[in-house]
Amino acid sequence: MKHMIAAMAGGFALLSGAFANDTEAAVAAARDWRTAHGADILSGFVDLLSLPNDANDAENIRRNADYISGLFKERGFQMELLESDEAPPLIYGLRETPGAERTIAIYVHYDGQPTEPAEWTHPPFQPRLYSRAMTEGGEEISFPLAGEAVDEDWRLYARSASDDKAPIPALLAAIDALDETGIGFTSNIKLIFDGEEEAGSDYLDDYLAAYADKFADVDLWLFCDGPTHQSGSPQLVFGVRGVTDMEVTVYGPNRGLHSGHYGNWAPGPGWRLAQLLASMKDEKGRVLIKDFYKSTAPISKAERAAIAAMPDIDDELRETFGLAETEMDNAPIAERLLLPALNLKGLKSAEVGALSRNVIPPSATASIGVRLVKGNDPEEMLNILEGHIKKMGYFITREDPDADTRARHPLIAKVTRSSGYPAMRSRMDDPRVSPLVGALRTVAGDELILNPSLGGSLPLYMFEVASTAPIVILPIANYDNNQHAADENIRIGNLFYGVDAYAAVLTMGAN
């Protein structure tokens, strides 16, 4: 896939001195600033990345929180660490803009995925610079000295280089560029930096409830996390899917039985599971369960238009992933992600391969994941699934069946339900978002993708509960950043795109 950002980050510089609005001036200032101060931006980022940030490492997480707070305090933010006994501090900040009628809240998470240093080329908290991606033949290079030029294809390797510390130096650089040139913000800016996102953000809703007054006046939530589109183009994303899970175990004999002595007499649980699963989804990928699609919010006109305008990456993805065909006769991925997904994450019954034995196993289990879209209630979707299993003749239990249950029911399914959370999808034609789209077009031009929804899940529904403001996601990281894995990295061009994009955000026009 192409790195369109490479072209973009440098390519859309407008003629200076001819700005149609403040955002154009701001983006130009940001570009000048990062061109002149690229080495300093990298050096500051290296300091931040050197602080280990596993959410479960309380001491280091606090060092991160204090350090980041300090950086924004120096830049005129009123900073506060919101505290909980059970979670890392939530970094909160506010910089008021005189006369501003709008408040933008910027979400970043400062914790990172746990690391397995043995799998890394270098220690995960000792950042290294490469001439390009290691996987593309890049070689380690020295960091530039102050004033030296910085190449957009360089990669900086460290845990959280992309996910999700990258927005911090980019935002700081954008602020410095604007402050230095005297270009004022057009909004009040609130910071909400999560310290336990990779550990599940279990306490985020508690924080939001406990400090509801701090967030009640937010007019736009900006989520700065995740990678750009697989095409390499920058994107603004309006939604995420929700998620829930169900595990289903069906039963055969109460012990493994010799497949010769009892084969084609004792029912095999694997056959039962196969029959049950085959009743749920057809060969094309259509879910056959009654009402599975019923609560799904329709695709709006604006969403259809956005999908039509997105780059067609489907053929390229199919080739990359070795798939001759995808579900529903190669239906476009962006459209598929606006439907709930029934995923089979795992299957298990006894053993296969060298460990396989001539036994009729006592049980067979399927791990089923459900990705939810706007309109789907997690609990209700599991009810629909469970209702289908019942309709197929199964008696539902929550525990392994006892002898009495076994004697009474030929078909028994143990169903284990997880809780999960709903999807979030903001209206693409919300007038509160339009200025942001315009501002980002100043940076990215027509390459900017407006994406109705990511396929993945984030608990953004929490912010829907907290306020009625639209929620959008503005990712900056390269999609090949090795997120969550060893040798996580950021492409410098993407970091720079972030500087420009945040300058646009901070100076975006009125609704």
**Segment 259 to 318, residues that bind a second copy, using CB under 8 A:** 259-283, 285
Among 3, 95, 190, 371, binds a second copy (CB under 8 A): 371
Among 173, 199, 428, 454, binds a second copy (CB under 8 A): 454
- What phi and psi, each to the nearest 5 degrees, are found at residue 316? -65, -40
Task: Name residue 108's amino acid.
Answer: V
Q: 60 vs 295, which CB is nearer to a second copy?
A: 295
Q: Quick check: 390 binds a second copy (CB under 8 A)?
A: no
SS3 164: coil
Task: Name residue 239's amino acid.
Answer: G
Give the ranges where 74-186 is alpha helix by DSSP (H).
167-181
Among 294, 346, 429, 465, binds a second copy (CB under 8 A): 346
d(CA 172, CA 77): 11
Q: Which listed range, 59-67, 104-112, 120-128, 366-374, lies at the site for a second copy (CB under 8 A)?
A: 366-374
Q: 62 vs 336, which CB is nearer to a second copy?
A: 336
Instruction: Check if the beta carbon of residue 151 is closer than 8 Å to that of residue 144.
Output: no
Q: 123 vs 263, which CB is nearer to a second copy?
A: 263
Q: Quick check: 257 binds a second copy (CB under 8 A)?
A: yes
Among 13, 305, 344, 485, binds a second copy (CB under 8 A): 344
Token representation of residue 454: 């990511």
Neighbouring residues of 58: CB distance < 8 A, sequence distance ≥ 6: 88
Q: Quick check: 235 binds a second copy (CB under 8 A)?
A: no
Token representation of residue 156: 């900086």
Q: Quick check: 369 binds a second copy (CB under 8 A)?
A: yes
Q: 407 vs 510, which CB is nearer to a second copy?
A: 407
Q: Please, which of residues 185-214 interact with a second copy by CB under 8 A?
A: none
Cis status, amide bond into 164, omega within 30 of 0? yes
Q: Quick check: 457 binds a second copy (CB under 8 A)?
A: yes
| Number of residues counted as binding a second copy (CB under 8 A) | 88
d(CA 427, CA 302): 8
Among 15, 145, 324, 510, binds a second copy (CB under 8 A): 324
- What phi and psi, each to the nearest 5 degrees, are found at residue 411? -115, 120
Q: 84 vs 259, which CB is nearer to a second copy?
A: 259
Token representation of residue 331: 């239906």
Among 89, 127, 169, 340, binds a second copy (CB under 8 A): 340
Give the ranges where 17-131 is alpha helix by DSSP (H).
22-49, 58-73
Q: Which listed range, 132-140, 161-169, 380-388, 448-456, lies at the site for a second copy (CB under 8 A)?
A: 448-456
Task: Name residue 238's amino acid.
Answer: F
Written as one string, the DSSP assignment of 226-244 is SB--TTS--EEE-EEBEEE
Tell me how crowded residue 203 is: count the other CB atoms within 10 A of its CB.
Answer: 19
Site string for a second copy, 393-432 (x = CB under 8 A): --------x-x--xxxxx----------------------
Nearest distance from residue 153's CB to a second copy, in Å? 25
